[in-house]
Structure 1
Amino acid sequence: MDSDLWHRHASSFGAAANAYATHRPDYAHDAVRWALEPAPGPRVLDLGAGTGKLTATLVQMGADVTAVEPDQAMLAELRRSLPEVTASSGSAESIPLPDASVDAVLAGNAMHWFDMAVAGPEIARVLAPGGVLAGLWNTMDDGVDWVAGLARVSGPAAIGPRDTPDAWRIETADLHLSTTDAPASFGSPEQSGFPHGQLRTADSLVATLGTRAGMLVMPDEERESTLARIRRYLAARPETSDGEFTLPMMTCVLRVRRR
């Protein structure tokens, strides 16, 4: 993806902040616990926090959370829904926190938008020694037949290169260090996946897929055509054609420790 297209995708979410907050899933608690397991303390930075999907999970689990988000519309939604959380404007490349001020940096469906050549040393700066950097991604479990069919019908704009477990492992294997200037700051990466699910209807699943970056930047006519194709598929499947169903998912985690 060239830099202009990357920027369009990365900056597309603000226009759909309310839909993102309404339709995007939370994160499996077991996945968040595993991400935080090696952290030396409770201070957690949710970096690229969006509307606060991961932030809310961290609050529920008793973490001392600070949220940082660059998009003002997304940040406003986070502040509205989680007024008790300290939430600041900032980015992975410019984190508005002091040195060694957090025990863990987590990023929910966000780390692939970071410029790790800049963000790697910046994350290392705010992490206490022994602290944890972890990226979490909610992926669709394409080991389930109807979900695999949905991926084929939807196309890469709606279900992208990190949106199934196997693809995620390939795409993120070296993401945390691949371009950073300070690889010695971090230890070896670990990956794991945890079962998750989201209660959906056909309409709400279509709305969820409509919040993907590839869909948000599509021309209107192409987006409507893609969403209509997805609706037809869901209407034709017995698993999804009538009422509520659980979308089978995995929360996949990549973690690494600050030396």
Structure 2
Amino acid sequence: MDSDERLLHSSSFGAAAAEYAAHRPDYAQAAVRWALESAPGPRVLDLGAGTGKLTATLAALGADVIAVEPDPAMLAELRSGLPAVRALPGSAEAIPLPDASVDAVLAGNAMHWFDMAVAGPEISRVLAPGGILAGLWNVMDDHVEWVAGLARVAGSAAIGPRDTPASWRAVTADMHLPKAGAKARVAARFGSPEQAEFPHGQRRTADSLVATLATRAGMLVMPEQEREAALGRIGAFLSSRPETADGEFTLPMLTAVLRVRRLGDSSVA
């Protein structure tokens, strides 16, 4: 995805902010605990926080969390749902926080939208030495037969390259994480990236799962006629399956985590 296409997709969520807040899942608490494991303190930045799905989990675990989100509509939903949380306008490329002010930076289903050539030095700047950077993604468990069938029917606009476990592992294995750079005021060293996955699930009906998939960026930027046709195919598939046709069911998921630790600083000229 080139920079223009990434910008188009990443800026699409505001138009569906209320639907995103209503239908997107939270994150497995075990995954968030692992992401924060051995962080030097409780100060956590939720970067690209959206409507606060990860923010709420962090707050429930007792973190001293600050949320930063660039989209005004998404930020308004976050502030409405989590009024006690400090929530600021800003982006991964321009974080409105002082140097070394947080012990961890987490991003829920957001890191793939960051321009890491710019965001990397910014994240390094606000992270305390020994701090943690972690991306979390909720992925569908396509080892379950009906979920694999759903992925085939839905197509890549609804279930994309980070939305199943095997594809998530492959994509994030080569993800551009922060590196020391001559343009950074402080060049931070990071350890080797680690991946882990944790069981998760979301209670859905056929209609609410269709509504969830409608909030994916690939669906939001699709021409309306194509989008309605795609959602119709998904709804028809779910109505045809005994696991999903009637009432509530659990969508089998994993919360997948990519974690890296900041090791220390060295000055640059």
TM-score bin, normalised by smaller chain: over 0.9
- Kept in 2, the 8 Å contact 1:116–1:179? The answer is no
* 2:225 aligned partner: 221
- Post-superposition, which runs of at least 4 consecutive aligned residues in structure 1 deviate over 3 A? 178-184
The within-5 A match list for 1:97-176 is 97-176=97-176
* 1:240 aligned partner: 244
Structure 2: distance between partners of 1:177 and 1:231 = 37
The offset of 1:180, in angstroms, is: 7.0
The offset of 1:63, in angstroms, is: 0.3
The within-5 A match list for 1:6-21 is 6-21=6-21
Deviations 1:57-78 (A, max 9, x none): 0010000000000000000000
- Kept in 2, the 8 Å contact 1:88–1:96? The answer is yes
Structure 1: distance between partners of 2:78 and 2:188 = 34
* 1:201 aligned partner: 205
The offset of 1:29, in angstroms, is: 0.3
* 2:234 aligned partner: 230
CA pair 6-79 structure 1, distance change in 2 beyond 3 A? same
Could you tell me which runs of 5 or more consecutive residues in structure 2 were left unpaired when the two chains were aligned: 264-269
User: Could you say what secondary structure the match of 1:55 adopts?
Assistant: helix
- Kept in 1, the 8 Å contact 2:99–2:125? The answer is yes
Structure 1: distance between partners of 2:114 and 2:189 = 17
* 1:49 aligned partner: 49
**% identical equivalent positions:** 77
Structure 1: distance between partners of 2:219 and 2:16 = 11
Structure 1: distance between partners of 2:191 and 2:145 = 37
The within-5 A match list for 1:18-97 is 18-97=18-97
Deviations 1:10-47 (A, max 9, x none): 10000000000000000000000000002010000000
The within-5 A match list for 1:169-188 is 169-177=169-177, 181=181, 185-188=189-192
Letter aligned with residue 261 of structure 2: R
Moved more, 179-188 or 200-209: 179-188
The offset of 1:7, in angstroms, is: 1.1
Could you tell me which runs of 5 or more consecutive residues in structure 1 were left unpaired when the two chains were aligned: none
The offset of 1:184, in angstroms, is: 5.4
TM-score (normalised: structure 2): 0.94
Query: What root-mean-square deviation, in Å, do the aligned CA atoms of Structure 1 and Structure 2 show?
Result: 1.3
- Kept in 2, the 8 Å contact 1:49–1:69? The answer is yes
- Kept in 2, the 8 Å contact 1:117–1:180? The answer is no
Moved more, 214-223 or 169-178: 169-178
- Kept in 2, the 8 Å contact 1:43–1:65? The answer is yes
User: Could you say what secondary structure the match of 1:62 adopts?
Assistant: coil
User: Could you say what secondary structure the match of 1:17 adopts?
Assistant: helix
User: Could you say what secondary structure the match of 1:185 adopts?
Assistant: strand
Structure 2: distance between partners of 1:13 and 1:180 = 31
- Kept in 2, the 8 Å contact 1:108–1:136? The answer is yes
Structure 2: distance between partners of 1:174 and 1:114 = 15
Residue 190 in 1 paired to residue 190 in 2?
no
